Amino acid sequence: MKRGKEIAKKQTNIFSKYLSENDLPAPTSWDHFVQPITESPFSDKLMMYQASLMTASGMGNYGTAHSASPRRDIAADYTRLLGEIGQFAEDGINLQIKYGWLERPPHAVQREESVKAKGRIRCFF
């Protein structure tokens, strides 16, 4: 969680720089809404799941922004930062697997094995 916070802070600063250089207002942080607590009200499993969802959503947003950006300098940052987020996402998934919070991801149907098990070929048309 701390690593994700640092990545978000760094990436916010990178894109805020582009806005301020062009005399545009940069969005403010919502950090002042976070309350300091000593005990988490949520399970680690739930927080990891939510962090994974937000990470995947962020990667999708960067991909969309990258495809729509006519500026090479910003597109280069999207590419670089997307790689950093991808590594963070992979580490998060590996943690979920390590603690047994993630089951086997969906895979394609193994048609050959299915045919061998049934002993016959079925047509679906």
Q: For each of the chain's 125 residues, which pLDDT tens digit applies?
A: 889 989 999 999 998 998 899 898 888 877 777 778 888 888 999 999 999 999 999 999 999 988 998 888 888 999 999 999 999 999 999 999 899 888 766 777 777 766 666 655 555 54
* Stated length of the chain: 125
- Global pTM value: 0.72
| pLDDT, tens digit, 9 for 90 and up, residues 18-32 | 889 989 888 887 777
Crossing angle (nearest 10°) for helices 72-98 and 44-68: 160
